[in-house]
Chain A
Amino acid sequence: MSDRVPFPQQIITTPEVVERFGDLHPPLDRQAAVPEANRCLYCFDAPCTGACPTHIDVPGFIKKIASGNLSGSARTILDANILGASCSRACPVEVLCEGACVMHRYNKQPIQIARLQRFAMDALYESGAPLPFEPGPETGSSVALIGAGPASLACAAELRRRGIRATLYDARPLPGGLNTYGIAEYKLPLVESLREIEMLSQLGVDFHFETTIHAAALAELERKHDAVFLGIGLGAIHQLGVDGEKLSGVTNALDLIAGYKSGSLTTVPARVVVVGAGNTAIDAAIAAVRLGAAEVHIVYRRGLEQMSAFTFEYQHAKNEGVKFIWHVQPMGIRGDEVADGLELTKLVSTEDGSIVPEPGSEFVLKADLIVLSIGQATHSNFLSEHSSKAGKIQLERGRIVIDRMTGQTSDPKFFAGGDCTNGGREVVDAVADGKRAGIGIAKWLEVRRVQA
């Protein structure tokens, strides 16, 4: 492992992207962080901790910032959430810790938990100190982890802290999954995700990149390892199923975001339309604005009330100049070779609650780039081909069914977590899944060892 080039040094940052995607929430300096930390009431059984999927001891780490124990603060965060640095930037804290803060009912402004968490994590990086955990004494057990996104990373960290070998396989050239490639750069720069994983890898995690695991390989891994963790995320973004979808100038939100983050895409054309109104659609639309589009629309089949984006994300998009067209359905994409417009039909509600196209309401929205963001498919099909003595991995609408407390699937040797189990939620949800699964695997292996 020592001969590997550190992950953050394997990428090239693009000046245009750095300049246009500056911090949405700038860091706090010490003189701002300490008074903010002192504002925390230090609640008992704190609601912020309860709201955090990884149950970070929020008042605990904040108290340590106030007392000047910054290394202890970072350790408190990492102990609960090994991706505490990313989460401090990427989490929708308005609906998590900060949303649960009792200050909403006291002097109205919640404690800036995310920025304080980032302050503690930045201080750890700046100190040059190593990860404040050591691998546990080697047990001789080993686990294969499919995918190197947040769920697998969190699981691997728990395994390593318990002396269990962790080997990660990922199809991409770098680790982190959507944490590295899929989060708006003004929230979490790609290099920060890699820096965090570099630190995590001090626990002694084996990575195998550009390796896709199919059914046969999975069977092989099952034989070689004591357990397998599936952190495979979701698959490709859905297609619209309309004419013109194969034209140049049609892309999807994840490719757009990964493209600009990795530097392969530095500009977009003047008119951009994003189809869909989830958080990823918002990220793509704002990215289009920042990459130079003059006019960016989001079009959505339903209304504001039904969109899956968070309210603060919607507000952010509006502030950046993104326009929303509600209750429209794409019918086709126009253009010769290159897309130049999106055909839309208005939708109306019928008495039985369904929504149907309104005849005669068709119109064309001019667009040079059409970005699809209408949800991701699952890519768990290869699992259904797999069966072992112990059973089959049960799926439900493509999602892997797990025991939430342990991450165990219906095949006891297989565990899973993250988007492939929940259909696509936040990084912190994946970390929490991975953490529970890591602990769950360790316990399961221990029980087996005792019984053997």
Chain B
Amino acid sequence: MSKPKPTLATTFCGIQCLNPFWLASAPPTNCGEQIMRAFDAGWGGAVWKTIGEPITNVSSRYSSIDWEGRRMMGFNNIELISDRPIEVNLQEIAEVKRRYPKHVVIASLMVESKRESWHDIVQRAEDAGADGLELNFGCPHGMSERGMGSAVGQVPEYCEQITGWVKEKARTPVIVKLTPNISDIRIPARAAKRGGADALSAINTINSITGIDLDTFQPNPNVDGKSSHGGYCGPAVKPIALNMVQQIQADPNSVLPLSGIGGIGSWRDAAEFILLGCSTVQVCTAAMHYGYRIVEDIQDGLLNWMAEKGFATIEDFRGLSLPNVREWKQLNLNYQIVARIHEDLCIGCQLCYTACWDGAHQCIHLDRVSPVADTTRTPGMVEAESAQRISTTPIPKLDAGAIGGKNSKTPLERVPRVDEHHCVGCNLCSLVCPVENCITMERIDKDLPFESWEERVAKGLISSGTGEVMSTNT
């Protein structure tokens, strides 16, 4: 059976897209020249760097978090909206659309909270040829101090009202970009929907201070010895974005076509956002880190994955994971897994051992070579025994095979053992294990029917208010 040849072409609230990969409104979409190069590289669309009354920026503007030698795990900026005249941006939008009619150009807009101002900018952006409008209700720094950006997004009434003003004028789809700097993303999402928004995009950046210089005591990014909270993005924020995307998509009063944003840098990230219901995804930090060229693998990888899974279109898998995100009370309490350590793969680092003792439930033991299971030996005792051991440099002809080296097997005494009777199936050991498939979590519950907390409460087995006392040592 031949599988369908997949396509990335898709539709987003009526806008035809060559592919679902857009550049987010940010420095990579600052001007027409950039966006045309991005389209040449393979991006399907671009949300123009937010257009509004030109601002003055500071220097410096960015800072980041590195993690164990990898750069820019998290990225932060205090740059404002476009510093170019509205007219120049609009002329360039027109030029880009003339040269790239099939590519999507969305005008991101932010003006003062006056009906006429919004009517005026909407008209001009659409006249320039924008395929849609994205209302920037999310920018958390600078602009919010002037009553714009997240200052709008954080107040549902403003969000609804301005969306309404825009919808009075707009002929193209209106996308409201949401701020995550709020306790429940569904509140502004519902407001935007009430205001008539055609679509949503989420998330904008998260308020952040990325770090303090330990010599000067100045926060980053440094502007003449001072800093200001910025907007956090990059790989670190992806889990937060996925959660908010799911919340919006699972809420009937919020759900709209959604353009997913937040830490997307690869086709895998894109697939995850689409599986939670996004129709398009927007990328910024990864393009700022490595350039527009990253879209080649994003396209190629997603197409290959779609072919492998038998998906012909984005719609074929969009939202497939939504039913799998449930409330905790709906999870199966009778599902039971335990950790299994595969001796043949174990390298003997014992990270699972120390993690289980200090961070979990003391169910992993170093007793494979002791005559009987010994669950009383603590990490401290293990270390004390090792400290007393006398080691000598091996001499080849005297101490053959004394030391490990390249082809050696892990000595059995270094391979930890899981006490399956006490293992609670928390996953921690398998998460810290550096070796793929060395610790697997295996299902052991047998012949027990599905039963959730909700069901237990419904059956009157437990009153919903009491907490269950979990025993780890019986």
Asked if A106 contacts B434 (CB within 8 A), the reply is: yes
Counting CB contacts under 8 A, is A310 at the interface? yes
Partner of A95, one of B350, B390, B402: B402
Counting CB contacts under 8 A, is A11 at the interface? no
Known: A35-B69, A102-B349, A104-B404. A44 touches B354 (CB 8 A): yes
Counting CB contacts under 8 A, is A49 at the interface? yes
Name which residue of chain B comes closest to A107, CB basis. Answer: B434
A35: which B residues are within 8 A, CB to CB? 69
Asked if B383 contacts A38 (CB within 8 A), the reply is: no
Complex: A365 Cα to B315 Cα, angstroms: 83
Complex: A92 Cα to B350 Cα, angstroms: 25
B351: which A residues are within 8 A, CB to CB? 41-44
Asked if A51 contacts B397 (CB within 8 A), the reply is: no
**Residue among B351, B398, B403, B435 having the largest count of chain A Cβ atoms under 10 Å:** B403
Within B183-240, the residues touching A (CB, 8 Å) are none
**Residue among B354, B402, B404 having the largest count of chain A Cβ atoms under 10 Å:** B404
Complex: A241 Cα to B32 Cα, angstroms: 89
Counting CB contacts under 8 A, is B410 at the interface? yes
Asked if A100 contacts B383 (CB within 8 A), the reply is: no
A103: which B residues are within 8 A, CB to CB? 347
Counting CB contacts under 8 A, is B97 at the interface? no
Interface size class of A (residues with CB under 8 A): 35 or more
Name which residue of chain B comes closest to A108, CB basis. Answer: B406
Asked if A50 contacts B386 (CB within 8 A), the reply is: yes
A425: which B residues are within 8 A, CB to CB? 392-393, 395
Counting CB contacts under 8 A, is A199 at the interface? no
Name which residue of chain B comes closest to A313, CB basis. Answer: B396
Known: A35-B69, A44-B379, A45-B382. A106 touches B393 (CB 8 A): no
Asked if A51 contacts B391 (CB within 8 A), the reply is: yes
The minimal Cβ–Cβ distance linking A39 to chain B, given in whole angstroms, is 8
Asked if B347 contacts A95 (CB within 8 A), the reply is: no
Name which residue of chain B comes closest to A104, CB basis. Answer: B406
Known: A92-B393, A105-B410. A100 touches B350 (CB 8 A): no
Asked if A95 contacts B394 (CB within 8 A), the reply is: yes
Asked if A307 contacts B386 (CB within 8 A), the reply is: no
B402: which A residues are within 8 A, CB to CB? 95
The minimal Cβ–Cβ distance linking B150 to chain A, given in whole angstroms, is 35
Name which residue of chain A comes closest to B390, CB basis. Answer: A404
A405: which B residues are within 8 A, CB to CB? 388, 390
Asked if A47 contacts B405 (CB within 8 A), the reply is: no
Name which residue of chain A comes closest to B391, CB basis. Answer: A53
Within A30-82, the residues touching B (CB, 8 Å) are 34-35, 38, 41-45, 47, 49-53, 55, 66
Name which residue of chain B comes closest to A41, CB basis. Answer: B349
Name which residue of chain B comes closest to A55, CB basis. Answer: B387
Complex: A428 Cα to B392 Cα, angstroms: 9
Asked if A105 contacts B395 (CB within 8 A), the reply is: no
Asked if B393 contacts A96 (CB within 8 A), the reply is: yes
Counting CB contacts under 8 A, is B353 at the interface? yes
A45: which B residues are within 8 A, CB to CB? 350, 366, 379, 382-383, 386
Counting CB contacts under 8 A, is B68 at the interface? yes
Name which residue of chain B comes closest to A35, CB basis. Answer: B69
Known: A47-B414, A52-B391. A104 touches B386 (CB 8 A): no
The minimal Cβ–Cβ distance linking B11 to chain A, given in whole angstroms, is 44
Known: A45-B386, A94-B405. A428 touches B353 (CB 8 A): no
Name which residue of chain B comes closest to A310, CB basis. Answer: B396
The minimal Cβ–Cβ distance linking A81 to chain B, given in whole angstroms, is 12
Asked if A105 contacts B408 (CB within 8 A), the reply is: yes
Partner of A105, one of B68, B348, B383, B389: B348
A50: which B residues are within 8 A, CB to CB? 386, 389, 391
Asked if A426 contacts B393 (CB within 8 A), the reply is: yes
Complex: A49 Cα to B387 Cα, angstroms: 9
Complex: A428 Cα to B393 Cα, angstroms: 8
Asked if B405 contacts A66 (CB within 8 A), the reply is: no
The minimal Cβ–Cβ distance linking B437 to chain A, given in whole angstroms, is 13
Counting CB contacts under 8 A, is A308 at the interface? yes
Digitize B357-398: 1 where CB-to-A-CB distance is under 8 Å, 0 elsewhere.
000000000100000000000010011001111111111111
Asked if A307 contacts B403 (CB within 8 A), the reply is: no
The minimal Cβ–Cβ distance linking B357 to chain A, given in whole angstroms, is 9
Within B317-340, the residues touching A (CB, 8 Å) are none
Complex: A53 Cα to B393 Cα, angstroms: 7
The minimal Cβ–Cβ distance linking B333 to chain A, given in whole angstroms, is 32
What are 18 A-B residue pairs whose CB atoms fall within 8 Å in the complex? A41-B351, A43-B348, A44-B354, A44-B382, A45-B382, A45-B383, A51-B391, A52-B391, A53-B392, A55-B391, A95-B402, A101-B404, A102-B349, A102-B410, A104-B408, A105-B347, A108-B406, A307-B396
Which 3 A-B residue pairings sit nearest by Cβ, starting from the closest? A44-B350, A44-B354, A35-B69
User: Chain B residues in contact with chain A, CB under 8 A?
Assistant: 68-69, 347-351, 353-354, 366, 379, 382-383, 386-398, 402-406, 408-410, 414, 434-435
Q: A53-B393, A101-B404, A104-B405 are in contact. List 4 more A-B contacts (CB 8 A).
A: A42-B351, A45-B386, A106-B349, A432-B391
